[in-house]
Structure 1
């Protein structure tokens, strides 16, 4: 049984077929989003598998032959087929699978696609209704059109993230691995779904392209606009234009982030909250326009620093909540994996590994009221579903064995990996329905 059959028609994309030839993060994560909407996903790997399978040890993630938490992050609810695209019969099988699909997603270099006949002009001529998607490091034109790229260089470095996020005067930041990839994945999924709507309406396929550099520029829209009007980045928290949109340290050495954009309206409230009623209506500080004209924003920040240093974080959170000031403790990942808010809303879901025990895994963020929290089946070894899909294409057992013998396909022969469906916390508690 394929993973898709196990999901029993779940989701708004049930019946939509996707063929994926993707490695690492951004492109596979794109298709994970579609898989959690119910699409049937056939992931075609080389015999060595998605290169992401090698990455876990680089950040301390253990692996076994059948369990890999790193590959799970981008590959839930997929079916796993392994083909040798350099073999004519392996490539022919890939073409058959693509020909039956609504969407073909890749992050291969254009030159490699052209060599294999998997480029957009070739496939669109053969399959006019096919949606062809490509995730790229940089755009299709210009000096870097054919350059290799990862989110660290395309998104974090050239996209301005590493250079504009740190405190001014410090070294560039090192964002968590693949931070940009997951943002770009949502954008790519949006494009594929837009093309799918058009295909269902007109029958016509489409080419959809997203690149990591553009994704970073889009996310930096406000900063890029502000930079052109004199707001230089990176910034120092000691000199932000609006002191009410800033971080402050509490008495117990923790940080709180407040975000009150309407400075003038809430100035007196904030002065009261920190015990500086003597500064209410003070003409030096009470309007944002005055701060900008006189350059005294750092003085207000210092006043707020002194105020917030007088109470512990939990005291401040309660006080700020009472005054309806948008605020939060500045979390680290150690806080997030213990945060009940993340589990009750299914942003994190607990899964059980035979070798590693219970761990939390992120979920894609889109939810549909008619379907609820999506089912989650973890990844499989390379070639796990090869034989099943070849059978669906009409190959006999003997023909599959012959293809395997000549090196055109890889078939998994190891221990069975059950299709265990992991539910959300509320589903496990019987507080939310399961539609599968």
Structure 2
């Protein structure tokens, strides 16, 4: 198949952001062929230095997190606090279709980079912004990360723990990637509108708003205080004992998912060999209303858990596949790197580094006609500074002056 033109080829994007969420949006657009120029200060985005907390070496030349969020972009390193630095930034915006930022509102206003100011000068510009808590309300200016704005404030930590236990451990990027993809979707809709009408748009989302949307089913259900169990719950007392993890003979966990308990009751009980719950006893456990009314959920849960501990994962895999029961082994990250299903669906690709070959994660969207998206390593700090400045019309003498005066920075290590 001949590779066709990239879907966003010719689109120019300026990314004025740090960390993960906004960078995810930029990476998504860059994969589609947009020219994404990331603006960094001389010391670079703090995300470049997070390796120790992720359990990997701190190495600017082998930074898998940086690759994931910033592959296929170019980097211009300038001091935007200076007048000449701002002039360079605005020259970029003169030609840009999209601006992506996660700066806080006060900083944007102070720098003349807020939407209300820019839309006057750039009426066709699509302005994408993501924040921790949204642009309005008493907490709009608080710093926000996915640990706090998404997982904690957004309802994950308090509701998804076992009732008697501390909240689950969380890892960076999970909420950020959600937000980044939401922002990308909004930006692409606005870009279409701008191309059709000549009118730009502001697109906004946040970690907090995204978490509430993700939790929408349960947040809405929480209004019905006379029904169901209030979270956090003990999974043993869940109104549907088929939505749980089960411990296998070798101590691994299998998650089953049967939202409609009634549909799966006989099939699941038969597959497990728990025939004592069928026949004359069935009326106590089926339908689910009877189970709840009789207070027999914990008894059924205990019976299932006891049965799961009699067989290995391999044995349960064969039994549950044959019975067409929705299930999955709770895998660790090391296992995901070797998952045949992930490789078959192009979730990964390999990248060569001085230390050897590493596996990197691809964006989760595929394109048939465009073909496989490229994966250039994330840029070093100021790697494309000279290149971009020349494109903006600066000559060699002026570029040297900007670098010597520390207004611009070029990677030289």
Which TM-score band (shorter chain)?
over 0.9
- Alpha-carbon separation, structure 2, partners of 1:329 and 1:413: 47
Which secondary structure state, in structure 2, belongs to the residue aligned with residue 66 of structure 1?
A: coil
Deviations 1:100-146 (A, max 9, x none): 11100111111111121111111111000001111100111111011
Q: How many residues align?
A: 406
Consecutive unaligned residues of structure 1, counting only runs of 5 or more, are 1-7, 415-436
Partner of 2:267: 269
Relative to 1, partners in 2 of residues 1:10 and 1:239: Cα closer, same or farther, differing over 3 Å?
farther
Partner of 2:7: 12
Is the 1:184–1:210 contact (alpha carbons within 8 Å) kept by the matching residues of 2? yes
- Alpha-carbon separation, structure 1, partners of 2:61 and 2:266: 60
Per the TM alignment, residue 153 of structure 1 is displaced from its structure 2 partner at its CA by: 0.9
Is the 2:4–2:370 contact (alpha carbons within 8 Å) kept by the matching residues of 1? no
**Do residues 255 (structure 1) and 253 (structure 2) align?**
yes
Partner of 1:423: none
Q: Report 1:222-261 matches (<5 A).
A: 222-229=217-224, 230=227, 231-261=229-259
Is the 1:350–1:358 contact (alpha carbons within 8 Å) kept by the matching residues of 2? yes
- Alpha-carbon separation, structure 2, partners of 1:344 and 1:45: 36
Partner of 1:341: 341
Higher alpha-carbon deviation: 115-124 or 225-234: 225-234
Partner of 1:332: 332
- Alpha-carbon separation, structure 1, partners of 2:50 and 2:129: 22
Relative to 1, partners in 2 of residues 1:239 and 1:146: Cα closer, same or farther, differing over 3 Å?
same
Partner of 1:297: 297
Which secondary structure state, in structure 2, belongs to the residue aligned with residue 201 of structure 1?
A: helix
Partner of 1:166: 161
- Alpha-carbon separation, structure 2, partners of 1:139 and 1:324: 43
- Which segments of structure 1 move beyond 4 Å, counting only runs of 4 or more? none
Partner of 1:359: 358
Consecutive unaligned residues of structure 2, counting only runs of 5 or more, are none
Deviations 1:266-298 (A, max 9, x none): 212222111122321411012112123232211
Which secondary structure state, in structure 2, belongs to the residue aligned with residue 73 of structure 1?
A: helix
- Alpha-carbon separation, structure 1, partners of 2:91 and 2:45: 21
TM-score (norm 2): 0.94
Deviations 1:173-222 (A, max 9, x none): 22112211111111111111111111111111111111111111111112
What's the RMSD between the two structures over aligned residues? Answer: 1.6
Partner of 2:136: 141
TM-score (norm 1): 0.90
Is the 2:82–2:407 contact (alpha carbons within 8 Å) kept by the matching residues of 1? yes
Is the 1:152–1:178 contact (alpha carbons within 8 Å) kept by the matching residues of 2? no
- Alpha-carbon separation, structure 1, partners of 2:307 and 2:62: 50
Match of 2:125 among 130, 147, 159: 130
- Alpha-carbon separation, structure 2, partners of 1:63 and 1:252: 36
Partner of 2:23: 28
Deviations 1:18-48 (A, max 9, x none): 1001111111111111111211100011111
Partner of 1:211: 206
Higher alpha-carbon deviation: 333-342 or 201-210: 333-342
